[in-house]
């Protein structure tokens, strides 16, 4: 009786071992299948996921020379582009592509499966990156944007002398800075681009989209400077036209222009985005700077930002009004106009 009993026990152990192995295999296959699927199913329905950038949740993903597939997998997981690092590594090794990832810039989405993503990353990416320059950015702001995007030229634009471009762009012949001429737009820029290359790309855009409006205009540089004031001070086109008329009227009357944005430019050293002291306080009117339009008459030495097409159009088509003062309400950005200083001070107390 004993041998059959022992034999039955041995069969049971073997059965349970095989069953355990089968269950483990099923779970492992299920996990691999799960890990191969897109990290986000919502994006497949066209809904953007949190933490992604660009239209449809597309993220710009950079592979630098020397990055290994383990490091790439870790970064894909950190950016929520894949579900499992282990499955990503397993698939990359199993498919024979673990050593074939190519340096470059790739547009990836959580809606992509791991096989799709590996296929994209091993096909070879672009060596340029999309950089969007918002209206009202300064040259130093653009430098910071380029640095953040990994462009080699980042941090070098502000040091470029305009005179070195004057043969190609005659309007730069007698100006002191590229401020105002780096037209706000979206640019595909090579990661290896020099500062001169980036500047030319933006100056070409200025020549196409802005210079035709200034060509033939008397004191066009002053109007470009005015456009930079409007870009930083006022939101709507109609209000910008009124403010343009007010500032030109003050100039004719020999009044200080008293533009708060010029003080912000002086206080922040030309780097406005992210500047903690950008807000103008009463004590700031005593700041010693050629950009202090409360103390110094006339225009600032250069524009204080790179204005877009709307602000430029407003500067070139100022509106006639009975007003001499204006302010933008804190929070709402609504512009209020006044005829007299007393009326202006009352609105300051109410809206600022």
Rounded average pLDDT per 10-residue block, the chain, 352 residues: 61 71 72 78 42 55 82 91 90 87 84 90 78 96 93 92 95 95 94 93 96 92 98 96 98 96 95 90 91 96 97 97 93 91 92 80
**Would you state the pLDDT for residue 9?**
65
Quick one: DSSP state of residue 135?
A: T
**The tokens of 175 are what?**
């100006």
Residue recorded with tokens 């355990």? 20
Three-class secondary structure of residue 326 per DSSP: strand
The string of DSSP codes covering 145-209 is: HHHHTT-TTTT-GGG--GGGGTTT-GGGTT-S-STTTS--SEEEEETT--HHHHHHHHHHHHHHH
**Would you state the pLDDT for residue 125?**
67
**Would you state the pLDDT for residue 10?**
65
pTM of the entire structure? 0.71
Three-class secondary structure of residue 340 per DSSP: coil
The CA-based dihedral angle spanning residues 41, 45, 46, 47, taken in that order and rounded to the nearest 10 degrees: -60
Q: For residues 322-352, b (16+ Cβ closer than 10 Å) or e, as one string?
A: ebbbbbbeeeeeebbbbeeeeebeebeeeee
Residue recorded with tokens 């004590």? 283
Under 8 Å between Cβ of 272 and 141: yes
Contacts (Cβ under 8 Å, ≥6 apart) of 240: 230, 234, 310, 311, 314, 315
Q: Which of 90, 109, 110, 87 is nearest to 39 (CA)?
A: 110
Q: Which CATH superfamily is domain 42-121 in?
A: Endolytic murein transglycosylase (3.30.1490.480)
The string of DSSP codes covering 64-75 is: -TT--HHHHHHH
CA dist 126 and 82 (Å) reads: 21
**Would you state the pLDDT for residue 45?**
39
CA dist 74 and 106 (Å) reads: 16
**Candidate CATH numbers 3.90.1520, 1.20.58, 3.30.70, 3.30.1490; the one for domain 128-213:** 3.30.1490
Domain with CATH 3.30.1490.480 in the chain: 42-121
Looking at 37-113, list the stretches that DSSP marks H as alpha helix, in order from N- to C-terminal side.
Answer: 69-78, 85-94
Contacts (Cβ under 8 Å, ≥6 apart) of 234: 240, 243, 326, 328, 335
**Would you state the pLDDT for residue 242?**
98
**Would you state the pLDDT for residue 6?**
64
Bridge partners (DSSP) of residue 145 are none
Under 8 Å between Cβ of 59 and 37: no
**Would you state the pLDDT for residue 150?**
86
**Would you state the pLDDT for residue 42?**
54
């Amino acid at each position: 009786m004993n041998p059959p009993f022992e034999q039955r026990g041995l069969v049971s152990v073997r059965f349970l071992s095989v069953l355990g192995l089968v269950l483990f295999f099923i779970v492992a296959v299920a996990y691999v299948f799960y890990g191969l699927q897109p990290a986000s199913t919502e994006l497949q329905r066209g809904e953007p996921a949190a933490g992604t950038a660009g239209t449809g949740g597309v993220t710009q993903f950079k592979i630098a020379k020397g990055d290994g597939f383990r490091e790439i997998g870790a970064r894909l997981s950190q950016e929520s582009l894949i579900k499992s690092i282990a499955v990503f590594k397993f698939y990359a090794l199993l498919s024979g592509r673990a050593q074939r990832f190519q340096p470059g810039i790739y547009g990836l989405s959580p809606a992509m499966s791991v096989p799709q993503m590996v296929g994209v990353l091993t096909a070879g990416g672009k060596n340029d990156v999309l950089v969007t320059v918002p209206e009202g950015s300064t040259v130093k702001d653009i430098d910071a944007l380029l640095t953040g995007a990994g462009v080699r030229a980042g941090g070098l634009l502000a040091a470029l002398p305009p005179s070195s471009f004057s043969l190609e762009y005659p309007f730069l012949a007698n100006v002191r800075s590229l401020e105002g001429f780096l037209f706000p737009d979206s640019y595909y820029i090579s990661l290896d681009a020099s500062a001169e290359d980036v500047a030319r790309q933006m100056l070409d855009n200025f020549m196409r989209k802005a210079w035709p409006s200034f060509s033939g205009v008397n004191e066009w540089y002053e109007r470009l400077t005015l456009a930079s004031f409007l870009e930083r001070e006022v939101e709507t086109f109609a209000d910008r036209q009124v403010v343009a008329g007010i500032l030109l009227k003050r100039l004719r009357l020999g009044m200080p222009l008293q533009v708060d944005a010029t003080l912000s430019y002086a206080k922040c050293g030309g780097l406005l985005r992210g500047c903690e002291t950008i807000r103008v306080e009463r004590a700031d009117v005593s700041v010693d700077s050629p950009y202090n339009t409360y103390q110094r008459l006339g225009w600032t030495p250069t524009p204080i930002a790179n204005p877009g097409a709307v602000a430029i159009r407003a500067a070139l088509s100022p509106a006639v009004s009975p007003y001499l003062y204006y302010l933008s309400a804190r929070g709402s950005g609504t512009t209020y106009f006044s005829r007299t200083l007393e009326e202006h001070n009352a609105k300051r107390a109410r809206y600022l």
